[in-house]
Amino acid sequence: MRLLGIASHLAPRTHLRWGPSAWFAGGVAAEIRLATRADIEGLIGLEGQLFAGDAGEHDPGVDVTWPERCGAADFLALLGNEKALVLVATDALGACGHLVGWVSEASEVRRRVVTGYLRSLFVEERARRHGVARGLVERFVAWAEGEHGAVSVSVTAYAQNQHARAFYADLGFETVSVVLTRARG
């Protein structure tokens, strides 16, 4: 896997070659499966926690209210897009993790290769350090590579978020580019 844009189109969901899987979080089984419309409220809550705890901490320009204001429409569009994948991890208490990603269309610029883009990943504290996040990422990579022929998968992480960067490095992601930002003023 390599860290490397974003293109998708709406189309009906097709089948996936795998079913739900169980992971163990604190002794309680957590299932990783495709998200459905019934999961949207939980997904908005998870995305809200991600925004507040990651972007809210590392990027003052991010509107941390976006998931609450726009999340439902965003997740509805993603669920209907065959180039996007929304996974949810659930345990006895409900949704405890999620992953959102998609694959690009092949383009002239990218040497006609398909790339997977992991947009967001969040796992609640109760399910951390039990394989749930790893399972979500592995499912996404298998989908991007196996179902869509992706030759690489990329993710962005805030430079200050050392935990996320170490997590992705442990999964084989490498730093390929660095974004430099100059704040106004």
Residue 2 has pLDDT above 80, yes or no: no
Residue 70 has pLDDT above 80, yes or no: yes
Residue 25 has pLDDT above 70, yes or no: no
The predicted structure's pLDDT at residue 26: 53
22: confidence class by pLDDT, cuts 50, 70, 90: low
Q: Residue range 50-62: average pLDDT?
A: 88
pTM: 0.84
Report domain extents, the chain. Answer: 21-170
The predicted structure's pLDDT at residue 153: 96
Q: Residue range 112-121: average pLDDT?
A: 94
Residue 14 has pLDDT above 70, yes or no: no
Question: Phi and psi for 153 in degrees, rounded to 5?
Answer: -130, 135
Beta-bridge mates of residue 89: 32, 97
Quick: pLDDT tens for 73-101: 999 999 999 999 999 999 999 999 999 99
CA distances from 156 to 3, 40, 168 (A): 8, 24, 10
Task: Order the strands of the 84-91 sheet from edge to edge.
Answer: 21-25, 28-34, 84-91, 94-103, 115-123, 152-155
CA distances from 88 to 20, 132, 136 (A): 10, 10, 8
What architecture (CATH level 2) is domain 21-170? 3-Layer(aba) Sandwich (3.40)
**What is the pLDDT of the chain when averaged over all its residues?**
85
Residue with tokens 């345990």: 91
